[in-house]
Amino acid sequence: MGKLPILAYALCLVDLNVAAFDRTGQCQVCLDEHQLRNFRGECFDAIDVLGKRAEIPREVLLGRKEAVASQLNRMLTRP
């Protein structure tokens, strides 16, 4: 398993666009940041709901949210 499973899952869900630049031999992959931000929010909500149901301590839940954020924020221009 990779070290960035949440990021890998997110990239399977959000729209990706490839831009090729004429005569430069370069291309760029862009993602839909709005969709990625929504996914991050859904992850945080799931952590809250499932954590409360499982009676997981608040500190542990915060650690899980930080792990999600650290993976997803690397793809956002404004985390």
pLDDT value for 23:
87
Cβ distance 69 to 79 under 8 Å? yes
- For the chain, give every domain's residue range: 5-75
Higher pLDDT, 60 or 79: 60
| Mean of all residue pLDDT scores within the chain | 93
pLDDT value for 25:
86
